[in-house]
Every structure is written in C-alpha cells, then in structure tokens.
Chains A and B, each alone.
Chain A
Amino acid sequence: MHLTLHVWRQRGPGLLGGFVRYAMTDVSPDMSFLEMLDVLNQQLLARKDDPIAFDHDCREGICGACGMVINGRPHGPQRATTTCQLHMRSFSHGAELWIEPWRARAFPVIKDLVVDRGAFDRIIQAGGFITARTGSAPEANSLLVRKPDADLAMDAAACIGCGACVAACPNASAMLFVAAKVSHLGLLPQGQPERDTRVVTMVAQMDAEGFGACTNHGECMAACPKEISIDFIAQLNRDYWKAVVSRTPQAARKDGGDG
C-alpha cells in the first residue's frame, strides 16, 4: 500500500518544529506502525537524512515506551492498542497520516516524536509506593483480599504510564494516570496505612508538574491502550477529599502542620 506521512520534525527542546511530508510506497499491511517508521528511517539514512526519533522498547504493548498522535488520536485509530501493536492494515491504501508527539506543557519535546515523561516518574516518586518493609514472604492467606477488589486493583495496575491520557485530554490532565496509580495501591491492604498521604502528595506533584485539571471529557479513557476506566478518577476524587477533610495527625505532620 502507498501512504503519505506528515511527521512532526523538531531538532531539539525549545526549537521550532514543523511537519515534513514523506511518501511511502510498498508498505505491507502486516507491518506494525513502528516497523513502517523503521523502514522510513532506513530510507532516510540511505540518503543521509536525519532519521525520525521515536520512543519504543518492548513492541509488545506492555512497556509504555511508545506513543505518538496519529491523525489526532493518541496511539492511532484502534481501540485499546498501543502504537507498536497498531498494524498498517488499520489504514487504507493512499491514506494521509499526520504524526505528532504527545502535546502537553508537562511533556516537553526532546526531539521529533520523543517527549520527556519525567513528570510521571516524579508523581510516582511523590507517593506511588508503599514504604513498608517487605521482609520475608508472608503466607498468602494471611492477608485476605476480596476478589472484586483484587480484580479492580489489577485493572488499575494495568496502566503502563504511556501518557496517552494526557495527550488525549483537552486540558492535558494526568488525572487518569494518577487515579490508576492511587487506586491500584488504595484497593489493597498493603496500601492502606499511607492511603491518605499518598493521594495528597501525588495530586500535589501532578499540579506542580503543570498538568491540567479534569473536566470530565472522557477522552483519556477512549485513548487509553489499557482501557483504564474514568471510574478510577471518581475514586481518586473521593480519596482526595476524604484525605483532605479527615486529615490524620500523621498526614498533618507531613505537611508541617500542628503535629
């Protein structure tokens, strides 16, 4: 199949970027989207042009490294699919594709389609963990978890942190990401002791990174390759208000309060 690509090229952070047009011929419908870009890069290198920089790692849809906006949609047109798992049979012969990086103030472009997602790491560092010493492995039945909670925690834990939710949101909000991470731990017994402080510190970091607020567009859920539900955002809001309203002495101390 033949395709016309318009790819965002930007030499470095803070520099002016723009779309560059590439005509692709003989694209196999069995290629993945990233393989198609690999082929284009080989052609660019063959004529001593700078290849297109894009993030990728496992190419199995589980690592969260890849991601680009294709015709206005993060990870492209296929539901619940990362860019690496998107195949060219999803497009028709002669299609015109506009390929851009994630667009968000909190995700500055490093080069071409590569953005800096360090903001997500800093949100996790702010509270996305448990501090309890794991010690030796406990007997599996000593901490009982209800099956619906276990399943729900697993659904939240499916988040791979790719950032498509931010790219899809008109406000560039990271609420779905934060909600998934907060709920994943908040639904399990090990996450309870720090449940209140966790949600407060993670939301604070999210705001500090410059992500927008949630105004219930629901675009994040539609773009999420792991189909994380916005129900978790409701859970995040509940947890947040509960934590703020019923501050425990420990939470207050941490914020420099009256402890």
Chain B
Amino acid sequence: MSESLRNDGRIWVPKKKGDTRPPHQIPEEERDYYLERLYPSYGNLAPRDIASRRAKEVCDEGRGVGPGRGGHGVYLDFRDAIARLGRPVIAERYGNLFEMYQRITGEDPFQVPMRIYPAPHYTMGGLWVDYNLMTTLDGLYAIGEANFSDHGANRLGASALMQGLADGYFILPYTIGDYLAHAKPAKVDPQHPGFRHVQGEVDEQVRRLLAASGRKTVDAFHRELGRVMWDKCGMSRNAAGLKEAIGRIGALRDEFWRDVYVGGRGEDLNQSLEHAGRVADFFEFAELMCHDALHREESCGCHFREEYQTPEGEAKRDDERFGYVAAWEFAGVGKEPVLHKEPLAFEAVHLAQRSYK
C-alpha cells in the first residue's frame, strides 16, 4: 500500500505473542503501537527503512498478525482517524487506496485495520550518469528512477514523481538539446560490425534458451532467486549471508542455463522467452547488489548491516570510510565488478546522525 497512509493510520501489533483474536477484540492496553512507543516525536511517520525493520522485528518475535506464513503482517489502523476526522475526510484522502486494499484482500479498511508488511518496491541506485544525465554510453541518457543521481540509501515517498519531474522538466530539455545540437546523427546500418556483433549475441542467447529444454520453468528460477535476495540481501544483511548469496546466485545461474525450460519459438510472441531474458539479467543484477552490500561495511538508510548498528538497533554509518557513491563497472558475467568511487561532498548541509526518537 502507499506510504501516504501512514499520515493518518496507526501501526500496531498485539503485545502478546500468538494473539489470534480479531483486532477489535484486542483492548487498547493490550496493543503495542510500537512506532509511537519507540519514536515518540516521529511516531508512525518514521522513515521507511526504520518502519520496515521494526515491522520485521515484531513479526520475527511472533507478534505478527494475519493468517498463513507465521503472521507476516502488522495492523495499520484508521479507527482513531475516522473517529477524529469523520469518514468523509478519510474517504477523500485515501478513498482510492482503501478501495484497492478491499479489492485485494476482501476486507474493508473502514471496518477492520489494514494488514501490511514491508516488501521490496524499488532498488535504490541505478545507472551511473554524469551531470547531464548521460550514461557511460555516448548519447544514451537515463532519466528518472533508472539513474542513481537523486536518491541515496533511502527512497522517500513520491521520490519517483520528484525525479521524473526534475529530470524531465528541468534537466533534459537543456542537456539533450545541447547534445543533439553538437552530435551529427550517424547513418544507421545493420551491416555495421557493432550491430552484427550484438545481433549475434542476442541470437545466440535466444538459441541457447530455447535449446536448453530442461526441467524447471523460468518462473521457478525467478522465485528461487527472489527468495535468496529476500533472505540474504533484504531488510537486514550480514557478511556471511551475503557471501552465501553470491555463491548461490552463481550456482543458480549455471543451473538456469543448463536446466531451464522456456518452450515455444523465437519467431513469434513468446512471453516465457521474454521472461527468461529478464531473469538472466536479474542474476547479474542480484549478484551486483550483493557485492555492493558486502563491500559497504556500514549501515546506511535501507542498507542495514547487522554488524554495524547502535546499541538501540539503529543504523550506524561510517562516513569516514564510506562517504562515497559506489559506481560499479560491469566486467562480464560472473566476474567481479570494478569499483569507481565518487566522493560525496556536502557544501551547504553537512552530514549528521539523525534521531527520530
């Protein structure tokens, strides 16, 4: 669900482990509004990395709510907001989100609290671009969320919109126009050796995927990769887990090329083949994320390394050693990426440790 719901919703879980009573039967004094308790000044509006970790924590303790899979959920409750502001105000603010929730779960959030759980949404970071938003390939620009430029180790609500607007409205009209004014469009020729080389590569990949004729579907590999990333490179990471993940991703990739079953043909619409191409890319990307997480020996925003935390369990940064953007150069499949450090210089606002207590 959208993060905006936290403006008026209160997040809680039962104080007791394994409390299976329906929410309205749990009296006020037996509820733990844990964000309000831990962060009195920010409460339910604590940043998403903190709110996510605390949600995972209470669920790991066995206080999660909802059926199945050991209660992977916490309540997001609008009861008090509805009592305070009235149903029409809440409907005006969040009507579309309430409807969406009801469609998915079959429960009405006006009557029963929503059940939420943190999940990966976007990957922080993106393609390296220069000040004009051009990638390392001459003439190829990456704008919006595809590039790394505007966000750090945390994404805030609406940053997708912000970056789309900032890049598209304020930067590109000047930089792409400038590029096009200088660059002469070269003749496009499919006989060009570069084109033929890439075409050969793509043809070979498609041929290999269709020829593999193994026993496991693309979806099965995708799920397995997702599970590795969720477990080892998710809301909290540690060195041992990340090393294990890198090993497993490599093994899974080898198995994929040996034992995937794609089916169909390469000549017409083949969604399984499209999916296979993406999952093949995801292996490389997942490996890179683990490398980066292993390399960064600090906790910073959503990157939470269990080894680097304060006694209260908050993220502990190491600005001395890691005050830079890590731009990783692709060195080839299965090869260690090459690190390029881009130092972060703060001129107006200086780095500080924030407290949300």
Q: Which residues of A contact B217 (CB under 8 A)?
A: 42, 45-46
Given known pairs A85-B103, A87-B103, the reply for A53 and B219 (CB within 8 Å) is no
Query: Which positions 222-274 of chain B face chain A at CB distance < 8 Å?
Result: 261, 263-264, 268-269, 271-272
C-beta contact mask, A8-46 vs B, less than 8 Å → 1, else 0?
A: 000110000000000000000110100000100110011
Query: In the complex, are the beta carbons of B106 and A87 less than 8 A apart?
Result: yes
Choose among B103, B173, B271 the residue that contacts A51 (Cβ–Cβ < 8 A): B271
A50 on interface, CB distance cutoff 8 Å: yes
Q: Which residues of A contact B140 (CB under 8 A)?
A: none
Query: In the complex, are the beta carbons of B169 and A134 less than 8 A apart?
Result: yes
Q: Which residues of B contact A86 (CB under 8 A)?
A: 103
Query: In the complex, are the beta carbons of B263 and A38 less than 8 A apart?
Result: no
Query: In the complex, are the beta carbons of A45 and B268 less than 8 A apart?
Result: no
**Chain A interface main SS type:** loop
Query: In the complex, are the beta carbons of B106 and A53 less than 8 A apart?
Result: no
Q: Which residues of A contact B268 (CB under 8 A)?
A: 11-12, 111
Query: Which positions 87-104 of chain A face chain B at CB distance < 8 Å?
Result: 87, 89
B contact residues, total (Cβ < 8 Å): 19
Q: Which residues of B contact A12 (CB under 8 A)?
A: 268-269
A127 on interface, CB distance cutoff 8 Å: no
Q: Which residues of A contact B105 (CB under 8 A)?
A: 30
**What CA separation (Å) do A50 and B173 show in the bound complex?**
46
Query: In the complex, are the beta carbons of B261 and A111 less than 8 A apart?
Result: no
Q: Considering residues B103, B219, B261, which has the most beta carbons from chain A within 10 angstroms of its beta carbon?
A: B103
Given known pairs A60-B100, A78-B103, A85-B103, the reply for A110 and B269 (CB within 8 Å) is yes
Query: In the complex, are the beta carbons of B104 and A51 less than 8 A apart?
Result: no
Task: Give the distance to chain A from B231, nearest Cβ to Cβ, in Å.
Answer: 22
**What CA separation (Å) do A42 and B269 show in the bound complex?**
17
Choose among B100, B103, B261, B271 the residue that contacts A53 (Cβ–Cβ < 8 A): B271
A61 on interface, CB distance cutoff 8 Å: yes
Q: Which residues of B contact A60 (CB under 8 A)?
A: 100
A144 on interface, CB distance cutoff 8 Å: no
Q: Which residues of B contact A237 (CB under 8 A)?
A: none
Given known pairs A38-B219, A53-B271, A111-B269, the reply for A48 and B106 (CB within 8 Å) is no
A114 on interface, CB distance cutoff 8 Å: yes
**What CA separation (Å) do A12 and B268 show in the bound complex?**
8
Query: In the complex, are the beta carbons of A51 and B100 less than 8 A apart?
Result: no
A137 on interface, CB distance cutoff 8 Å: yes
Query: Which positions 154-186 of chain B face chain A at CB distance < 8 Å?
Result: 169-170, 173
Query: In the complex, are the beta carbons of A48 and B219 less than 8 A apart?
Result: no
Query: In the complex, are the beta carbons of B103 and A81 less than 8 A apart?
Result: yes
**Chain B interface main SS type:** helix
Query: In the complex, are the beta carbons of B169 and A50 less than 8 A apart?
Result: no
**What CA separation (Å) do A45 and B214 show in the bound complex?**
11
**What CA separation (Å) do A111 and B15 show in the bound complex?**
53
C-beta contact mask, B262-304 vs A, less than 8 Å → 1, else 0?
A: 0110001101100000000000000000000000000000000
Query: In the complex, are the beta carbons of B272 and A45 less than 8 A apart?
Result: yes
Query: Which positions 94-132 of chain B face chain A at CB distance < 8 Å?
Result: 99-100, 103-106
**What CA separation (Å) do A180 and B261 show in the bound complex?**
43
Given known pairs A78-B103, A111-B268, A134-B169, the reply for A50 and B219 (CB within 8 Å) is no
Q: Which residues of B contact A50 (CB under 8 A)?
A: 263-264
**What CA separation (Å) do A30 and B103 show in the bound complex?**
10
Query: In the complex, are the beta carbons of B269 and A51 less than 8 A apart?
Result: no
**What CA separation (Å) do A46 and B173 show in the bound complex?**
50
Q: Which residues of A contact B106 (CB under 8 A)?
A: 29-30, 87, 89
C-beta contact mask, A154-195 vs B, less than 8 Å → 1, else 0?
A: 000000000000000000000000000000000000000000
Q: Which residues of A contact B99 (CB under 8 A)?
A: 80
**What CA separation (Å) do A231 and B263 show in the bound complex?**
47
**What CA separation (Å) do A89 and B263 show in the bound complex?**
31
**What CA separation (Å) do A48 and B272 show in the bound complex?**
12
Given known pairs A61-B100, A85-B100, A87-B103, the reply for A51 and B169 (CB within 8 Å) is no
Task: Give the distance to chain B from A82, nearest Cβ to Cβ, in Å.
Answer: 9
Q: Which residues of A contact B219 (CB under 8 A)?
A: 38, 41-42, 45
Q: Which residues of B contact A114 (CB under 8 A)?
A: 269
Q: Which residues of A contact B100 (CB under 8 A)?
A: 60-61, 85
Query: In the complex, are the beta carbons of B261 and A48 less than 8 A apart?
Result: yes
Q: Which residues of B contact A48 (CB under 8 A)?
A: 261, 263
Which residue of B is nearest A114, CB measured? B269
**What CA separation (Å) do A51 and B272 show in the bound complex?**
8
Which residue of A is nearest B105, CB measured? A30
26 CB < 8 A contacts A-B: A11-B268, A12-B269, A29-B106, A30-B105, A30-B106, A32-B104, A41-B219, A41-B272, A42-B219, A42-B220, A45-B219, A49-B263, A50-B263, A51-B263, A51-B272, A53-B269, A53-B271, A60-B100, A61-B103, A80-B99, A85-B103, A87-B104, A89-B106, A110-B269, A111-B268, A114-B269
Question: A residues within 8 Å of B by Cβ?
Answer: 11-12, 29-30, 32, 38, 41-42, 45-46, 48-51, 53, 60-61, 78, 80-81, 85-87, 89, 110-111, 114, 134, 136-137
Given A32-B104, A51-B264, A114-B269, 15 more contacts at CB 8 Å? A11-B268, A12-B268, A41-B219, A42-B217, A42-B219, A45-B217, A45-B219, A45-B261, A48-B261, A48-B263, A51-B271, A51-B272, A60-B100, A61-B100, A134-B173
When A and B form their complex, which 3 residue pairs have the shortest distance between CB atoms, in order from nearest?
A111-B269, A45-B217, A85-B103
